[in-house]
């Protein structure tokens, strides 16, 4: 990425901020973050701003985009991502996945840039195939309480492939499985921040259902490495990015409690509707085509994550640290 000029849609979010950091550490000439801060947080870029030429602007990508000068890559990480976000912001989730994605694609087409779409394992719904490979088409309830996120990302994948076929756009599609790490929101409803928040407050640990449903947890540094490798490749088909180490949610709660040094009891709560019973990525394609596989152990990742949360949120970015970019909404 050295010398490249990159636009990151959703750059103030959990993944977006980590991506901005990685790009700048690799010597990107300029990173432009666009985020409406609906679920992102400007403070996520506090420790990123001093690393290089970062420009940030508050902008809703469902409004047209215009960026002055050349652009080499457009990364689309903009979307409410947690079940709570999708439930509270159903229309916004659908709009950013449809209108916002197309605005990003139009920008990439105008600039001749590579467009990387971060899709999600949610496109598989509650899968009937295990583990999930990229050629599995999924088992999704299109009108259920989780459908906004599922269908917005499925539509986004279809839209990207349509632009590739019709306009020759260079697209990359990453299907992101459960990812965790610093800069997550404690209140976003996903299992890791929920458990960490309970640990730090000295509360009991909530496990939904009987705790036998499975997930695979990938540390954010590994995930970002996969995104960068994919962007720099010539792989146009979807690629799973996640950790194939599968564990039950009960085992994960126990792991968080152990790293925290003990804590409350495990308390079981009703399983939400359409909550997937199992999730584990088949990462054969990523290993063979990108040379990628996770390297951070669950224990090390949890240690780093809890250490970050214990320190509290970073201080607000000084106004002079993040310059306003030459980016505006087109009329």
pLDDT single digits (tens) 117-132: 999 998 988 888 899 9
- Picking from 19, 106, 112, 26, the residue whose alpha carbon sits closest to that of residue 70 is 112
Per-residue model confidence (pLDDT) at position 158: 97
* Separation between Cα atoms, residue 36 and residue 56, nearest integer Å: 10
Peptide bond into 8 cis (omega under 30): no
Per-residue model confidence (pLDDT) at position 218: 97
Question: How many other C-beta atoms are found inside a 10 Å radius of the C-beta of residue 226?
Answer: 23
pTM: 0.90
Per-residue model confidence (pLDDT) at position 85: 86
Q: Where are the domains of the chain?
A: 5-179+218-243+281-294+312-329
Q: Which fold has domain 5-179+218-243+281-294+312-329?
A: Rossmann fold (3.40.50)
Per-residue model confidence (pLDDT) at position 320: 36
Asked if residue 274 lies in contact with residue 141, where contact means CB atoms within 8 angstroms, the answer is: yes
- Picking from 127, 310, 97, the residue whose alpha carbon sits closest to that of residue 216 is 127
Asked if residue 269 lies in contact with residue 208, where contact means CB atoms within 8 angstroms, the answer is: yes
Token output for 160: 């990207």
Per-residue model confidence (pLDDT) at position 327: 38
Per-residue model confidence (pLDDT) at position 323: 43
Q: Decide: helix, strand or coil at residue 129.
A: coil
Q: What size, in residues, is the chain?
A: 331
Asked if residue 24 lies in contact with residue 52, where contact means CB atoms within 8 angstroms, the answer is: yes
Q: List the chain residues with pLDDT less than 50.
A: 313-331
CA 168 to chain centre: 26
* Separation between Cα atoms, residue 171 and residue 173, nearest integer Å: 7
Per-residue model confidence (pLDDT) at position 326: 37
Per-residue model confidence (pLDDT) at position 187: 77
Question: How many other C-beta atoms are found inside a 10 Å radius of the C-beta of residue 323?
Answer: 13
The label of the residue with tokens 């999704």 reads 140
Going 61 to 45 to 155 to 232, the CA torsion angle's sign is: positive
pLDDT digits (tens, 9 = 90+) for 246-282: 999 999 999 998 998 877 888 898 887 777 788 899 9
């Amino acid at each position: 990425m050295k010398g490249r000029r990159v636009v990151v849609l959703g750059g103030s979010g959990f993944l977006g901020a980590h991506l901005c950091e990685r790009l700048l550490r690799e010597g990107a000439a300029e990173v432009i973050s666009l985020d409406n801060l609906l679920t992102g947080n400007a403070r996520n870029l506090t420790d990123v701003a001093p690393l290089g030429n970062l420009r940030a602007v508050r902008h809703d990508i469902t409004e047209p985009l215009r960026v002055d000068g050349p652009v080499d890559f457009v990364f689309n990480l903009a979307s409410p991502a947690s079940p709570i976000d999708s439930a509270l912001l159903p229309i916004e989730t659908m709009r950013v996945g449809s209108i916002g994605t197309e605005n990003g694609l139009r920008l990439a087409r105008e600039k001749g840039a590579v467009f990387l779409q971060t899709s999600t394992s949610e496109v598989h719904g509650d899968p009937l195939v295990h583990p999930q490979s990229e050629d599995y088409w999924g088992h999704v309830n299109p009108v259920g309480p989780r459908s906004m996120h599922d269908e917005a990302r499925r539509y986004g994948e279809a839209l990207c492939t349509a632009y590739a076929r019709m306009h020759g756009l260079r697209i990359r599609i990453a299907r992101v499985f459960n990812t965790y790490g610093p800069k997550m929101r404690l209140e976003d409803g996903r299992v890791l921040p929920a458990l960490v928040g309970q640990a730090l407050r000295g509360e009991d640990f909530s496990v939904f259902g009987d705790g036998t449903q499975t997930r695979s947890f990938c540390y954010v540094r590994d995930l970002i490495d996969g995104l960068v490798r994919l962007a720099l490749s010539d792989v146009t088909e979807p690629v799973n990015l996640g950790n194939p180490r599968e564990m039950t949610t009960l085992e994960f709660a126990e792991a968080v409690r152990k790293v925290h040094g003990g804590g409350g009891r495990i308390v079981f709560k009703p399983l939400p509707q359409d909550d997937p019973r199992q999730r584990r990525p088949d990462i054969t394609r990523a290993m063979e085509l990108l040379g990628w596989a996770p390297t951070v152990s669950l224990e090390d990742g949890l240690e780093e994550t809890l250490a970050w949360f214990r320190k509290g949120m970073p201080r607000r970015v000084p106004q002079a640290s993040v310059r306003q970019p030459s980016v505006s909404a087109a009329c």
